[in-house]
Structure 1
């Protein structure tokens, strides 16, 4: 029998503010909820689908997660949906759309929304998070990373470091606090380009997320070669327009992530 999920039509803007979302998270640490069962997927702990541009795509991704969430290894994997705040990106969203995406994801309750900030200072990051209900910030560029110490405790941060095509880092890891999650991406971010995985040496002291040109035809190779704790896909699961997400590609990607790595 088919099962239909109805997303509430009440708009988040009808509430007094986004504090209803933020208050639920103030005492909740990112990726540090309860002790989770070990995953059979090469210790894969996190899957991020980035570049969500509308509530319809958010709903589609959350439904795909829901179909799998109660099966091994998905029951031990945390899911993130990324929304981009960068006018230069074709997958950029405004605050209104971001609020709709947050509300949709909160309804399903099986993922979290990450705000992707490029060259924005702490005040802008805080403002957008307050207006949208987002409490996780992915920080691209020197200015956002320098804002780490100025962000309030309720905003969890994921600093981004670029990796050159030869697999070498372009930044010093000393500025990143131990215990933080960090994301490694090709320069510029959102380019759909990979770097030399065979030359890349992930730092053992960090929990890290692999990004940059991840697709359904290379995700298993990435898992085998690098065994990353987290993976991030964006253009690799888009439709031909490079903006809207493909339900088929999202489902295929999630299924490939569940394959046990040998």
Structure 2
């Protein structure tokens, strides 16, 4: 499905919970900011908190809400509290289409992979996020600071919009892009000073490294 791509390498900063991190995303030109609506995450945020952060700056990055296998009631409750531009989902493709039909917002679908054979060949949403599969003992499907084997994506050139996630940080994002050619990248724990607390300096460095990367 078509989607509007940034003219430069796209950068999403996910898991924002406090003003300093949000303001750094604005200052340094992130393309998307992500709010996590999943209780098991240390970055879980209420719709009221997300709206308060979002209201700090009119316009700017698109607001993305991350949900894990949400029911309609959860989505409705969140959307009644905060204005979102994109819904990022851990869900089946069938469930994603049902959500699209009801709520009408652009959808991103997370696709954890552990082998090249698991890379998607088609896309029925606006964007696919490619990330590593969580460890067996994980309580969350993502946000575990795991790094994907980037070699799995070497030469992979899908005809749909996608984003690389998982284990990225300011020190490795340029290398990840060089190996994968990712048109956009997503970071959360890699720019934190503590779980759920973003480092403005790390955000600035990450965006600079991602935008300057060859790939």
TM-score bracket relative to the smaller structure: 0.7 to 0.9
CA distance in 2, matches of 1:125, 1:242: 25
Q: How does 1:1-262 map to 2 (within 5 A)?
A: 31-32=3-4, 39=8, 44=9, 46-65=10-29, 79-105=31-57, 107=58, 109-142=59-92, 146-151=95-100, 152=102, 154-164=104-114, 166=115, 168-169=117-118, 176-177=123-124, 180-187=126-133, 188-200=141-153, 202=156, 204-239=158-193, 241-261=194-214
> What secondary structure sits across from 1:104 in the alignment?
coil
The higher radius of gyration belongs to 1
Query: How many angstroms does 1:96 deviate by?
Result: 1.1
More strand by share: 2
Query: How many angstroms does 1:133 deviate by?
Result: 1.1
RMSD: 2.6
> What secondary structure sits across from 1:160 in the alignment?
strand
Unmatched tracts of structure 2, length 5 or more: 134-140
CA distance in 2, matches of 1:204, 1:88: 32
Q: Given the superposition, is the C-alpha separation of residues 93 and 168 from structure 1 closer, same or farther in structure 2, using an over 3 Å criterion?
A: farther
> What secondary structure sits across from 2:128 in the alignment?
strand
CA distance in 1, matches of 2:63, 2:70: 18
Q: Given the superposition, is the C-alpha separation of residues 85 and 58 from structure 1 closer, same or farther in structure 2, using an over 3 Å criterion?
A: same
Structure of greater relative contact order (alpha carbons < 8 Å, 6+ residues apart): 2
CA contact (8 A) 1:139 1:145 kept: no
Q: TM-score, normalised by structure 1?
A: 0.70
Query: How many angstroms does 1:191 deviate by?
Result: 0.6
Unmatched tracts of structure 1, length 5 or more: 1-29, 66-77
CA contact (8 A) 1:49 1:232 kept: yes
Q: Give the total of aligned pairs.
A: 206
